[in-house]
Amino acid sequence: MQRRDFLKKAGAGGIALGAGLAASGSASAKAEYKWKMVTTWPKNFPGLGTGANNLARLITEMSGGRIHVKVYGAKELVPAFEVFDAVSRGTAEMGHGASYYWKGKVPAAQFFAAMPFGMNAQEFNGWIYHGGGQALWDEVYAPFGVMGMPGGNTGVQMGGWFNKEINSLADMKGLKMRIPGLGGEVLKRLGGTPVNLPGGELYTALTSGTIDATEWVGPYNDLAFGLYKAAKYYYYPGFHEPGTCLEAIVNRKAYEALPKDLQSIVINAAKVANQDMLAEFTARNPGALKQLVDDHGADLRRYPDDVVAQMRKVSAEVVADVAKQDALSKKVYDAYSNFLTSSRVFTDISELAYLKARDE
């Protein structure tokens, strides 16, 4: 009798425990999270703004609506260059921008956007996903309570729009140009004046004479901004941004409050958005370039060889100087440089060799 009573009580307890766990699991599965995403881009701007929208949509749909992400364009909730601070403070759970915008707070962040004459998009993704780059990114952002990860890539950008021809290094002196990140420092050492402006202000600044030149992204985005109306000469290559990573920033506390399955959705949605943006720019740029040249009279020019050679020399000095700012920057610089050195050996005999052979 005692044994039967014990088994009945044990069974009832097990059922109660199972029901409790099931209820807990069910509650976790049904919990909904309302996230805000602030961006450095104009709302719905083609490529960059729509890339942020795509990431928000992916997270919302992949989670079955358990995470609902609302996107705010630049100035809608916070100014463009305050995105990092907003996510760090928890004003927004997510952000979308480019890490070189935060160089004043953490110099090493620049390595996770674009390095002049550095990795292209394919090499950068290899470094981040399989070469130890993500662990370094986590280390750099840890003191700020945020996580950074690829949320898009533009591929190789254009050199920019100019109101005058660039025939020699002398033409770079005194040039006021909107160019962020380390590319701006390269221009400064060549005698120009770098100006950092958000995308939404470029057209006005160029037409008013506030700046003499501007880089933005490439044909697809530049056409959307109507930059061909403000400047005639369109230069390449974009030495300063050979494969620019757009950054998804996530507040770490908000991320850690999610169940494991939703954490995985956030991470993998960012990977999908990263690949999709690169594919979109690859598809849209050729047609946009043709339209700029054929329909709008853009004067497509290549930087003179001596200008490119000096840009390359100065770029190496600028990047090396970032490494001298603090121990963490040196650590990231060494890792970035080592991966680039090893990857370019294969890139040269694979991608580069093939492209040259194809174009002969």
Task: Per residue of the chain (360 residues), give pLDDT as tens.
Answer: 454 554 455 555 555 444 444 444 555 557 899 999 999 999 999 999 999 999 999 999 999 999 999 999 999 999 999 999 999 999 999 999 999 999 999 999 999 999 999 999 999 999 999 999 999 999 999 999 999 999 999 999 999 999 999 999 999 999 999 998 899 999 999 999 999 888 889 999 999 999 999 999 999 999 999 999 999 999 999 999 999 999 999 999 999 999 999 999 999 999 999 999 999 999 999 999 999 999 999 999 999 999 999 999 999 999 999 999 999 999 999 999 999 999 999 999 999 999 999 998
Cβ neighbours of residue 315 closer than 8 Å, sequence gap 6 or more: 115, 116, 117, 182, 186, 239, 240
> What is the C-alpha separation between 60 and 243, in angstroms, rounded?
28
Per-residue pLDDT, 9: 53
Q: The whole model's pTM is what?
A: 0.89
pLDDT in tens, 104-116: 999 999 999 999 9
Element spanning 311, H or E = helix 305-323
**What is the three-state SS of 14-79?**
HHHHHHHHHHHHHHHHHCCEEEEEEECCCCCCCCHHHHHHHHHHHHHHHCCCCEEEEEECCCCCCC
pLDDT (tens digit per residue) in 53-67: 999 999 999 999 999
Domains and CATH numbers, the chain: 32-153+243-282 (3.40.190.170)
- Comparing CA positions, the residue from 282, 275, 356, 270 lying closest to residue 52 is 270
> Tens digits of per-residue pLDDT, 170-225?
999 999 999 988 999 999 999 999 998 888 899 999 999 999 999 999 999 999 99
